[in-house]
Amino acid sequence: MVLRMAEAKLLKTIAQNKKAFHEYFVEESFETGIELAGTEVKSLRAGKANMRDSWCTIEGGELLVKGLHISPYEQGNIFNRDPLRVRKLLMHKREINRLFGLMKQEGYTLIPISLYFKGSLVKLQLGLCKGKKLHDKREDMAKRDAKRDIERTLKSQGR
């Protein structure tokens, strides 16, 4: 229990992809490392990242994230990289091969869910997702609205 509390203090969320939970069913999640330049890490420490339209692909046995926007570091001058460049994700070859098989056979997609610091390292939480249909999205919205109404009535009754 003490170790988990210490781990929670070391985690600092940089960015989250809230749209992923609206658009997809997240079946499984993985923690991956991400290959970054020095000025990108400094920009992340300032919290300047956007994950809204990012996705992952597997090309040549490597796991890549595309569409992840990390703003240029203000004092970085010539050392800044392209904000939307393709970045390599770090996972074991066995895990990448398993994900590749699932993506090809069962129609899954790899979507970045959150970006965070774990100690001094930058980690990316990757979700193995299946797309939601329109009726699934409506059903989730109805459940969320019903839960909100129940909480509102309980709060007004003083419970």
Answering whether pTM is above 0.85, one says: no
Residue 14 gets the label, from left (phi > 0), alpha (psi -120 to 50) or beta, of alpha
User: Which domain CATH number covers 71?
Assistant: 2.40.280.10
pLDDT score for 3:
47
What confidence tens digit (pLDDT) does each residue in 65-94 have?
Answer: 998 888 887 776 776 777 778 888 988 999
Give the total number of structural domains in the chain.
1
Q: Is residue 62 part of a domain?
A: yes
Q: Please, what is the average pLDDT of the chain?
A: 82
Q: Is residue 146 part of a domain?
A: no
Asked whether residue 142 is domain-assigned, the answer is: no
Domain containing 81: what range?
A: 2-132
Is residue 32 a contact partner of residue 124, using CB atoms and an 8 Å limit?
A: yes
